[in-house]
Structure 1
């Protein structure tokens, strides 16, 4: 699932915007976890970002700037046991909307509708460290195995 958000009026650096995106993902993950807690057994939560700076901040033991530290604290409070992973920009379906893709291209994009073809195959990424990129050498052979369907989700006000 991807969600786009307009940047705030007060200018922020790209790394801070990326951190804000992970915070939004953490809110969404917590909402989904709580919404389906009675119906599904969710064992692990993984959040993906194409920002290595954000991954560094999440793993840092150093005191960070106030803006950054406040968001890191919120992320860790929302999803304390989540795993954070790196996804390259070329495999990040969220970048489709943030980089100005036309609606015609988006409608035909298997990356947008189905995500990265390697994602459902945990054996391809589970043992990697958070900064390791998932190689795309095997991606093409998995394309035929992956079935994707568009979904429509209504998000609560807390995520907006």
Structure 2
């Protein structure tokens, strides 16, 4: 399997206080939205995309019916479920999560030179945990 980082997006947390799981869910929605743009630009079907999250809560929510949750969470879960399959989602431990690099002070210029920025060696093999392997 070859993993390529096509683009990345970093956002600051909103002024309104949200729980960590809700922030992770917002990140998952953003990931799906960006993947739709990538699908259109590169003609790579969304079904071939893989998604990673550091949140086991998000993985659990994506394997559940969106109607079980409050409206704001249910709408986001439903949006993700309409576009992706739970099998496309994997857990990435926080220690090897490339999404945490921008918040840790990584400058964009390092992206091409720092091997730790490229997720291919970090998100393959035994480092990645599939949803079926995750314990909830």
Please identify, of 1-10 and 21-30, the stretch whose mean Cα deviation from structure 2 is larger.
1-10
Aligned length, in residue pairs: 124
Specify which structure has the higher proportion of helix: 2
CA-to-partner distance for each residue in 1:27-65, whole Å, 9 max, x for gaps?
A: 01111112222xx56652211100001111111136111
2:79 to 74, 80, 90: 74
Q: Which residue of 2 aligns with 1:85?
A: 90
* CA apart distance, 1:129: 3.3
Alignment TM-score, normalising by the size of structure 2: 0.74
CA offset at residue 132 of structure 1? 3.7
Q: Tell me, what secondary structure is at the counterpart of 1:12?
A: coil
RMSD of aligned residue pairs (Cα, Å):
2.9
Displacement of 1:102: 5.3
Q: Is the 8 A contact 1:55 1:85 kept in 2?
A: yes
Determine the C-alpha separation between the residues in 2 that align with 1:71 and 1:19. Answer: 7
Larger RCO (alpha carbons 8 Å, 6+ apart): 2
Rounded to whole Å, the distance in 2 between the matches of 1:81 and 1:116 is: 22
**TM-score, normalised by the number of residues in structure 1:** 0.64
Counterpart position of 1:54: 58
User: Does the Cα contact within 8 Å between 1:47 and 1:84 map onto a contact in 2?
Assistant: yes
